[in-house]
Structures are given as C-alpha cells and as structure tokens.
C-alpha cells in the first residue's frame, strides 16, 4: 500500500462546468499521480490538479495549454472573440485553461501558475462507471 500512497493521490472528485466536455458537469472521480510534475514531465494537453492561486484551500482541475517559454494566444472574454491577447509563459510556470472556456476561471484570469502549485497529473477516470478509462489529451 505504501507505493500507492507515495505515487498516487487519493481519488479526487471533480465537479463543475469548466472541463466540459472532457469531464462531467455532475462529477467525476479521477486518479492522479504526483511524480510527473516534480520531474518536469507535464506538458500541453495534460489534465492537472492545481492549488488555486487565489484560494489555496481550493483545488482546480485544468488542462495545461503552455509551458515555460511558450507564447499563448487567448481570448480574455470568449464571448468577444474579436480581440485576443498573447502572453509568454515565464520560467517555472504553466498556463492552464478549462476545456470549456465559457465557464472557467483559469490563467486567462489569474495569469501563469507556478509549477509548485501543481499537485498531480490526472490520468484515469474511475467514476462514473460508463466513463471509466484513461483521460485522453
């Protein structure tokens, strides 16, 4: 049991619209490992559990869109797609966004996130049973 607790986070429940359609609005239970982000093995497309930069008691589930040195183009307000902005992800940070840009508070609102706030990389959905399986990029 010790290796499991060292390399895998406890099951994490995820609720809300920010990761639709990848994750269900009514809730999914994910399994995440907490080694990859410590050795620099997370990148664009990975779904990660991140401690909120605005409320450290809150855990966010988002997708990495950019890593240090990447130029990220984004719409601060997706409803107004006439005007996009660009940002370069600084060293030691990642850019995270929810898959549902219309209902997600993410790097578009609070900027790049330090690697130190990443708690784990989600890799398997265990609930609901009909969606059991690996999280695709």
18 annotated active-site: yes
* Partners of residue 47 on adjacent β-strands: 63
Query: Residue 128: is the preceding peptide bond cis (ω within 30°)?
Result: yes
For residue 24, give the nearest of 98, 131, 119, 116 by alpha carbon: 131
The one catalytic residue among 13, 36, 52, 62: 62
Task: Quote the CA–CA distance of 135 and 131 in Å, as a whole number.
Answer: 10
For residue 105, give the nearest of 70, 53, 68, 69 by alpha carbon: 53
- The DSSP annotation for 65-123 comes to EEETT-EEEE-SSTT-TT--EEEEPPTTEEEEE-S-GGG--SHHHH--EEGGGEEEEEE
The one catalytic residue among 12, 13, 18, 71: 18
62 annotated active-site: yes
- The residues assigned a catalytic role are 18, 62
């Amino acid at each position: 049991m010790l290796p499991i607790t060292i390399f895998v986070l406890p099951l994490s429940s995820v609720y809300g619209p920010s990761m639709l359609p990848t994750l269900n609005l009514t809730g999914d239970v994910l399994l995440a490992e907490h080694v990859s982000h410590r050795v620099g093995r997370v990148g664009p497309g990975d779904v990660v559990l991140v401690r909120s930069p605005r409320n450290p008691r809150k855990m966010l589930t988002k997708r990495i869109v950019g890593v240090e040195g990447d130029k990220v183009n984004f719409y601060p307000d997706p409803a107004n797609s006439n005007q996009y902005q660009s940002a370069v992800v600084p060293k030691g940070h990642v850019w995270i966004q929810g898959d549902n840009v219309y209902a997600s508070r993410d790097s578009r609102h609070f900027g790049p996130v330090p690697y130190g706030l990443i708690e784990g990389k989600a890799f398997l959905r265990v609930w609901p049973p009909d969606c059991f399986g690996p999280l695709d990029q």
